[in-house]
Structure 1
Amino acid sequence: MSSIHRRGWLTGAAASAAGFMLTACDRLTQSAGVQAALASAEGLTQRTQRALIPRAALAPEFGPEDISPDFRANGTRNPQDPAYVALRDSGFAGYRLVVDGLVDRPLGLSLAELRALPARSQITRHDCVEGWSSIGKWTGARLSAVLQSAGLKAEARFIVFHCADKLEPTADESGRYYESIDLDDAFHEQTILAYDMNDAPLPVPHGAPVRLRVERQLGYKHAKYVMRIEAVDSLSGLGRGKGGFWEDRGYEWYAGI
């Protein structure tokens, strides 16, 4: 996740055959015409990348010798939400990952139950929009296994991750962190719900007890402190309607790399 103290907005850059990039700027223009152009460019970016790169293609993976000794903990490092604090202080004994929305079998998974699902370990590079990268080892349940256990309904199109960290005090809860991905990324082999980092339980600054790893996207998509996963048919009714905390504030929803 990206730091709440970073107030710069992002503008989208035009897509090329090689993919696309995101450009940070001090302020995202509020012009309706520019906003429409950016939205169009983002859609083109996604379509171009998906057309040129096989959907099953993996993000680069590395060896143990490449793991960064100083992987930065960005964004929220210790949520102060009372429910989260109680879970943290109990060692997450009472944690339940809620899986609901457009599913046939809503779930409430303990950490032990999550660890019992088909898992994957991967050593990957985390690329932050702020301009830094770090390499870490992540182990977690395959998101596909969680969704298959719940049984997605036919109308489900997006998977939303509701988190424990509140980045802004707002009456309507729009200041709480959330993220979303489509089903292509949700069922990708490297998309996991990580509970271990570098062969140890995930530390609180890095998102304990569970964080999303969606390795083909930029760092702000890797939601920390995941409490609930919701399957939806549209993003319009969530937050401010753009599909994520930072997206509601001007970032691109599709952050593929």
Structure 2
Amino acid sequence: MDITPHTQWCGIIGNPVEHSLSPAIHNAAFQKMGLDLVYLAFRVEALGDALKGIRALGNARGFSVTIPHKVAAIPFLDEVEPTAKHIGAINTIVAEEGKLKGYNTDASGALRALKEGGALLDGHRVLILGSGGAARAIAFALSTGTGLAGLTILGIEEAERQKLVKDLRDKTGVPVEDGPLTLDMLRNWVPHVRTLIHCTPVGMSPKVDESCVPANLFRPELTVMDIVYNPRETKLL
């Protein structure tokens, strides 16, 4: 791959990003398609400063947004597309002519994967572990794109979790229950759902031996989705 003054660049912004496979995936695709683009990983703590800098760089093209910036990035953008605005979280930023526009593809991607995987959604309750940006997107996708009987959200961050629950109730009307992500709550809820979606960083590389859910809570008819993709097969799965 030749990088020149004309090369446009993309990247992923988050904290941490050391686990991300996005640079390898995107750069392989760019090279295969003959595109003069490069994709980098940026560990970002000062989010506002980073986005201000991106806006000023003429050869910046677009960025993936990951933990913990999917919600926090929105106030720094010039525009947010309607779906992402409704959800209250983004995972993609397009940079064009000094303007930054946010999108959310987490929602549609997760819903498509669940349906293609045969998850029983209509008329059933779904359990989501986590309450961050990805959990928010998936919860909204399920609440508006299926006939769920209800959602249960278990998360560690109480204020974040309760804000998500309030937004879901106000915007979708789907019955939502919530509580802390503890062993007792898992024992209470896992037996009563047909689909469990894990949306926390637990089990992500390099801490690959961790899992939120004890193995003895699983049963054959339970569908499990883990949004952690490095390693490819997590301890949870």
**Structure (1/2) with the larger helix percentage:** 2
Whether these two folds match at TM > 0.5 is: no
Higher RCO (Cα < 8 Å, 6 or more apart):
1
TM-score (norm 1): 0.24
TM-score (norm 2): 0.25
